[in-house]
Amino acid sequence: MYKQASISHVSARNATVFSGMCAMYALALLAGAVLPLAFAPLGWYWLAVLSPAVLFLLAARLPKRQALWASYFFGLGYFGVGVSWVFISISRYGSGPVIAMLVTVGFVALLALFPWSAIFLVRTLCPRMGGFALWLGLPAAWVLSEWARLWFLTGFPWLFLGYSQIGTPFAAIAPVFGVLGVSFVVAVMAGALAWTALRFSLRRLAIASGALVALLLGASLLDREWTEPVAKPLSIALVQGNVEQDRKWKPEALAFTLGRYRALTQPYAGTDLIVWPETAVPAWFDQASEYLDRLQTRLGARGSTLILGIPVRTDQGQAYNAAVSLARPRRFYYKRHLVPFGEYVPLRGLVGPWLNILGAPLKDFSAGQQPRLLYASGVPIGALICFDVAFGAEVADLLPAAQLLVNLSNDAWFGDSLGPHQHLQIAQMRAIETGRPLLRSTNTGLTAVIDHNGQLLARAPQFEPTVLPAEVTPRTGSTPYVRWRDKPVLAFIGIALSVLVGVGRKGKRNSSR
């Protein structure tokens, strides 16, 4: 009888422990799932502090194994909601919903390893999670994981914490330390909140509040004009053709597409700069040259320069996703950061074309190797095609020569999802980092005019054929970020993690006594 009672007691205790762990994992999943709400279009920026704070608190309170599982569930929620638009592009324009679900789940499962890696690193270096680990160790590891996403498997720098802070006082950090610097400050606030909640006291609350005030004061000291206007304002017209993605590349739709863009453009002849979106002309440049020559002749007679997106093929057999300035002499910019499976198939020669699950062209695009400037009315322009705008250090390669940035994109792939809004927010951050106005011309939206402080001056309605006219003033000069890139942030991460190693070793020595 006693033995049976003991077994029942153990079983009940195990069931309680199991249900408690499930509750912790559910909390982590929920905290990750709400984090994308901090970004566009909702912009609940405070969630960028609260959500990671929940993760950091769990990382400090749970045993290492459970903490790692919690961090992985957090990542599943974070990216499962945040990049759900990947499913739309594959399902509608690739190989259907079944393949789309499999690929999206696999992609999210891979991305979830990045929050996991941050927790793993800190818990390995410093098993006892004290104040330093929460205030600086975890923030440093988190931002290191964001930096790794800039290059791992060609890069996917989406949903960095810093992007959520556009429009807040902390955006002033970006011209100096870039989006990773903003992410670091946000993560520090999350660590401070977790430290306060770990063992709540008025003393801890006062310290965390003081730190917040110090960070706000520090950000206010960086809030200044880093660049200056040059020359006169340019009149611009951003053309949004709104050609359906599943129709765009059909040969029988070419005449319709060219006619629509011509009709939308002609009333704006005399505008200094007219911009069409990425691959606005769904034909090779040499095939459309007669049409483009006639159009630029009419526009050029009124003093207009047209920049447009179009595929280009060379005599050497290479194909490029290009932005072309039609004013003589013609200039070409070739997209530098291609989208895997969208514009080329990795290992195509090894595994064959069956890997083409996203509807990539049968012929792979080649990546441009040099940042080339385009010109309009004598103004040097830095062109960025779609995914290019997500890589701040590469955008900085165009500076300080470029006085204006132009982002040509086609977000029709992602429908009415979070994707286009997140993409626009990323473009806003590039404007802040470089101190340059940025013009964004897209096929279906979000077409927008962004000033050098990252603020939206104008935005076209989504899913409508329209033209967005505006005036922008080119700017000159270099922000500190253009000169330094991500080096200061990476150096600080290295210092923080080095100190964390020392803290961890000291904690081990003390526990062994």
pLDDT digits (tens, 9 = 90+) for 121-142: 999 998 888 889 999 999 999 9
Query: Average pLDDT, whole number, for the chain?
Result: 91
**Would residue 250 show up in a list of annotated catalytic residues for this protein?**
no
Name residue, tokens 């660049």.
227
User: In the prediction, which pLDDT does 211 show?
Assistant: 94
Structure token digits, residue 311: 């595929």
**What is the CATH topology of the domain spanning 228-478?**
Nitrilase/N-carbamoyl-D-aminoacid amidohydrolase (3.60.110)
Task: Identify which of 338, 228, 350 has the alpha carbon closest to the alpha carbon of residue 279.
Answer: 338
- Which listed residue (248, 386, 394, 433) is catalytic? 386
User: In the prediction, which pLDDT does 189 show?
Assistant: 97
- Which listed residue (126, 146, 248, 278) is catalytic? 278
Q: What is the pLDDT of residues 342-357, one digit of tens each?
A: 777 665 555 555 555 4
* pLDDT higher than threshold 60 for residue 396: yes
Structure token digits, residue 65: 């194994």
Helix, strand, coil in percent for the chain, rounding step 5 = 60, 15, 30
Task: Identify which of 147, 139, 179, 177 has the alpha carbon closest to the alpha carbon of residue 163.
Answer: 179
User: In the prediction, which pLDDT does 346 show?
Assistant: 64
Q: What is the pLDDT of residues 33-64, one digit of tens each?
A: 999 999 999 999 999 999 999 999 999 999 99
Question: What pairs with residue 332 in β-bridges?
Answer: 324
Average pLDDT over residues 243-250: 88
Q: What is the pLDDT of residues 212-228, one digit of tens each?
A: 999 999 999 999 999 99
**Would residue 335 show up in a list of annotated catalytic residues for this protein?**
yes
pTM above 0.85, yes or no: yes
Structure token digits, residue 308: 């447009």
| Confidence bin at 254 (pLDDT 50/70/90) | very high
DSSP 3-state assignment of 270? coil
**Parallel, antiparallel or unpaired: strands 404-409 and 438-442:** parallel
- Which listed residue (126, 146, 335, 433) is catalytic? 335
Task: Identify which of 392, 411, 414, 448 has the alpha carbon closest to the alpha carbon of residue 275.
Answer: 448
DSSP 3-state assignment of 501? helix
Question: What pairs with residue 439 in β-bridges?
Answer: 406, 449
Say if residue 95 is exposed, middle or buried (CB neighbours under 10 Å; 0-12, 13-18, 19+). Answer: middle
* pLDDT higher than threshold 90 for residue 174: yes
Average pLDDT over residues 164-186: 97
Domain ranges of the chain: 12-225+492-512, 228-478
DSSP 3-state assignment of 240? strand
Q: Long-range contacts made by residues 117-121, C-beta under 8 angstroms, separation at least 24? A: 117/141, 117/145, 117/148, 118/71, 118/142, 118/144, 118/145, 119/55, 119/59, 119/67, 119/68, 119/70, 119/71, 120/68, 120/71, 121/497
* pLDDT higher than threshold 50 for residue 119: yes
Q: What is the pLDDT of residues 1-35, one digit of tens each?
A: 555 656 655 566 666 667 778 889 999 999 999 99
* pLDDT higher than threshold 80 for residue 512: no
The residues near 371 (Cβ < 8 Å, ≥ 6 apart) are 333, 336, 382, 394, 397, 398
Task: Identify which of 485, 483, 486 has the alpha carbon closest to the alpha carbon of residue 227.
Answer: 483
**Would residue 386 show up in a list of annotated catalytic residues for this protein?**
yes
